[in-house]
Amino acid sequence: MRIPLMLRIGALVLGTTAFYGYVGQMVPQKEVQPPKETTLGSDISTADMVKVGREIMEGKGICLTCHTVGKTGALRFPDLAGVGERAKTRVAGLSDVEYLAQSLYEPFAFVVPGFPPAMPPVNLPPIGLTDQEILCVIAALQTLGSTPTVTLQTKHKYNSGAPAPGAAPAPSSPGDKQPLKEPKPGAQLRPGPMLRLIAAHQTATRQDGAPRR
């Protein structure tokens, strides 16, 4: 008995659909949510900052996409276990807060040996954490081997209002004018281009008796 062509095509379509539906159910499904906005009050405690920092590390900050906590072996980026203690002596002259801030704002300033310089500054897009959110992340990192000490009032090199390293000076607006400097006594003033043209024209007029055009 010969099966009609249309039935064979229909059976192939149904079989293919069932196969891919089965495979799709075997793949772990993970719903991706937009970054959660963090609202921080000025009276938030350090303990609460730690909780917020951990949420940021797992979510908006995407820290745990590349970093691990408590794992060994071939790692993509340094494991964060014990980083709160290591940060105190990692770079000579930097406290733990200053080192962790540098690692987040300017990660290329110091790269842990054996790992690539591939971490982006977390205060810039696409991550774009605020100064307050970064302080919370620092608090969370301090708990990994040490005791958190930062508050929302903690100041460091990158949130103190000073220009960021390598930042170009802000361009002046069109309305900004430089004050005119008075000439020093005895200084000889040089005429500008327009004045020199007018003077040359007047000289030609006196010599010929009629203005040149």
pLDDT above 90: residue 11:
no
What is the distance between the alpha carbons of residues 79 and 103, in angstroms, rounded to a whole number?
14
Categorize the per-residue pLDDT at 19 as very low, low, confident or very high, splitting at 50, 70 and 90: confident
pTM for the whole thing? 0.62
Q: What angle do CA 182, 185, 191 make, to 5 degrees?
A: 60
Least reliable range by pLDDT among 17-26, 127-136, 162-171: 162-171
Express each pLDDT in 71-119 by its tens digit. 988 899 999 999 999 999 999 999 999 999 999 999 999 999 999 999 9
pLDDT at 212: 46
pLDDT tens, residue by residue, 24-72: 665 555 454 555 666 788 889 999 999 999 999 999 999 999 999 999 8
pLDDT at 43: 87
Among candidate residues 69, 77, 68, the one with its CA nearest the CA of residue 103: 77
Domain boundaries of the chain, sorted by first residue: 48-142
Q: What is the pLDDT of residue 38?
A: 65
Which pLDDT belongs to residue 210? 47
Per-chain mean pLDDT for the chain: 80
CATH number of 48-142: 1.10.760.10
Which pLDDT value is given to residue 202? Answer: 55
Rounded to 5, what percent of the chain is helix, strand, coil? 40, 0, 60
